[in-house]
Amino acid sequence: MEGPSYWSYVNGSDFSESSNANAVVRRAPPPPRRQNQNSPTLQTLFGIYPIRERIVRCLETRDVLRLCETSWAMRHDIKANEWDINVKLGRFIKDPAGFRSQLGRSDALISGSFALQFFERIIWPESDLDIMVQDGESLEGLSKFLTEKEGYEMAGERTFTEEGDDILGYRTSDFPDMKKVQLIATYGPPVQAILRGYYTTALVNFISWNKAYSIFPRSTFLSHETIPLKSMDEYFGSLHAKYSRRGWRMRTESVMVEGLSQPDPLGSLAKKGNRRVGDRDTWIIQLDTSSVAKPSKPDFVLEYSCFQIAGLQTQGVGVRGLHEWNEVRSSLNLSIYAGRFQSHSLRYNYTYSYDYEDPDYHTPLHLFWDQLGKRMSRNTLGQLMKLGQAKVDEIVGDQPPHSVVLYELEFEHPDGWDYYDDLVPLLYDQMESNGHI
C-alpha cells in the first residue's frame, strides 16, 4: 500500500470535517518535538565512511558542490575526503608528500585526464599520470625523483625539434605493475603549454603542489559539455568521440549566448575573451599540504597569468553561413592565446593575453600588461645604472635608452640585482579596484 502523499498528510493533520458539511473545526497544532541529541544528523551520517561513500557515489559533481554549500562542517568533510590528492596520487606514487614537494621545486603541473578525474571524482584504470615540466633542470630533477625515489624505469623518450612548439618532447617512465608516468617537457612555463596545447576545454585543468585549478568548470562539471580548441579534423574528432563516451557532450552551439553580457559556459568573456588563471571563474581547490615542502616561487605567478579565448565571433555560426566542410570544422572550435611575458626586472616568466586577431585593439587587460611592461623597463634601466657605464655600453652597444628592447638583452644578472615580481598582483589589483580592468 502506498503511503500518504505530502498534501494528504498536511490536510489530515491540520483539518478535519465534522458531521456538518459546512463546518470546519481547526485543531491546535501538536507541541514541537524535542530534538534528541543522540539523533543522527546529515553531518554525523557523512562522518561514517561507508554511508558517505555510498551517497556521494550516486551524486554528480555539481550535486556534491551544492551539498558543500549547506554548512562549513559539511564542506570541510566532503572536500577533505572527496578531493584528497594524496589518495588519488596513491595509484602512481608511493610517497605523495615527497612527490608534491618535488613537484613544487620543479615548478611542474599535473595535467591531462588525471586532473579531470580528480575534479570529477572518478578513476579510469587505463589512464596515465601526465606532468608538464619545463625542459632543463626542472625536468631532470623530477625524472630523478621518479627513478631513484619511486622505483620507476625509463621506458622511452621522444624529442621534437620544431621551433616555436610549446612541447619539446615526452619522457615516459614505467613501473613493474603497469603504472605509467609521462613527463612532458615544455619550452616555456608549463601553464602556457596547457592553455595553448589541449584540444578541448574539458582538459584545461591542472594541479600544482598545493592547489588544483579548473579553468572552465561551468561547462565541464555543471553542463558536462566540452568545446573544441582545435579544428575538428579526423584525429581530434576521434578524441572528442572518446570523451563523448565518457559523458562529455561536444558543444556545437555558440558560447556567446544572445542577450547575456557575461556568457556562462566559459566564464565572463565580456573583456573580449580575456581572463586570468586565478579569476573568479576558475574553480580552485586548496590541497592539504601537510609534510609538503613549500617552494620559493609564490602562487601569484601562476594565478596572475592571463590568456585570451579567441574565435568567439566565428564559433557556432549558423548553417547558412557555411559553404564548405572545412568551414564546418573551423566553426566548431575556439582557440586560446597566451604569450610569454618576461623582463630582466622579473624573477619569473608569466603568460599574458593580447589580441592576435586585431593587434591595434586594446582591452583593459592588455593595458595592464602594457603598464607593467613600462614599469619593468624603467626598473631595468635603473638596475643597469648600478653596473657602471662601461658595462652598460658592453651590453647595449651605442643604442640610446629609448630604442633598446630591454627584455631581449642577454646578460647575467650580477649579485645585488633587484626583482619586482611583487608589483604584478599589486598593480593588477589596483587597476581592477579602480575599474580599469
pLDDT in tens, 177-208: 778 999 999 999 999 999 999 999 999 999 99
- pLDDT over threshold 90, residue 284: yes
Per-residue model confidence (pLDDT) at position 263: 53
- pLDDT over threshold 80, residue 377: yes
Report which of 95, 109, 176 is spatially closest to residue 139, judged by C-alpha positions.
Answer: 109
The identity of residue 152, as a single letter, is: Y
Q: Give the number of other Cβ atoms within 10 Å of residue 109's Cβ.
A: 25
Cell of 246: 565518457
Which region among 18-32, 219-233, 375-389 has the lowest average model confidence (pLDDT)?
Answer: 18-32
Per-residue model confidence (pLDDT) at position 303: 98
Per-residue model confidence (pLDDT) at position 362: 61
Query: How far is the C-alpha of 140 from the C-alpha of 198, rounded, in Å?
Result: 24
List pLDDT tens digits, range 101-115.
999 999 999 999 999
**Dmax (CA) of the chain:** 112
Which region among 246-250, 314-318, 344-348 has the lowest average model confidence (pLDDT)?
Answer: 314-318
How do the domains of the chain map onto residue ranges?
A: 42-81, 85-361, 366-437
Query: How far is the C-alpha of 194 from the C-alpha of 70, rounded, in Å?
Result: 34
- 80 CB burial (10 A radius; 0-12, 13-18, 19+): exposed
Per-residue model confidence (pLDDT) at position 13: 34
List pLDDT tens digits, range 58-103.
888 888 888 888 888 888 888 888 899 999 999 999 999 999 999 9
Which region among 32-36, 177-181, 233-237 has the lowest average model confidence (pLDDT)?
Answer: 32-36
- pLDDT over threshold 70, residue 2: no
Per-residue model confidence (pLDDT) at position 167: 76
Contacts of 377 (CB under 8 A, 6+ apart): 343, 345, 406
Query: How far is the C-alpha of 437 from the C-alpha of 434, rounded, in Å?
Result: 8
- pLDDT over threshold 90, residue 426: yes
Query: How far is the C-alpha of 102 from the C-alpha of 97, rounded, in Å?
Result: 9
Backbone angles phi, psi at 155, to 5 degrees: -105, -25
Per-residue model confidence (pLDDT) at position 360: 56
List pLDDT tens digits, range 36-67.
556 777 677 766 767 777 777 888 888 888 88
Per-residue model confidence (pLDDT) at position 327: 86
The proportion of the chain whose per-residue pLDDT surpasses 70, expressed as a percent, equals: 84
Residue with the three cell numbers 598593480: 427
Answer with the residue of higher pLDDT: 76 or 373. 373
The DSSP element (H or E) to which 17 belongs, if any, is strand 15-17
Backbone angles phi, psi at 304, to 5 degrees: -100, 15
Q: Give the number of other Cβ atoms within 10 Å of residue 185's Cβ.
A: 24
List pLDDT tens digits, range 333-358.
999 999 999 999 999 999 998 655 55
Per-residue model confidence (pLDDT) at position 134: 94
Contacts of 395 (CB under 8 A, 6+ apart): 384, 387, 409, 411
The DSSP element (H or E) to which 261 belongs, if any, is none
DSSP code for 277: T
- pLDDT over threshold 70, residue 286: yes
Angle, helices 137-148 vs 96-105, to 10°: value is 170
Per-residue model confidence (pLDDT) at position 357: 56
Per-residue model confidence (pLDDT) at position 223: 92
Helix residue ranges, H only, 130-288: 137-148, 190-197, 217, 234-245
- pLDDT over threshold 70, residue 8: no
Looking at every residue in the chain, the average pLDDT score rounds to 85
- pLDDT over threshold 90, residue 158: no
Per-residue model confidence (pLDDT) at position 164: 52
The identity of residue 180, as a single letter, is: K
Query: How far is the C-alpha of 79 from the C-alpha of 62, rounded, in Å?
Result: 13
Residue pair 215/334 in contact by the 8 Å Cβ criterion:
no
- pLDDT over threshold 90, residue 122: yes
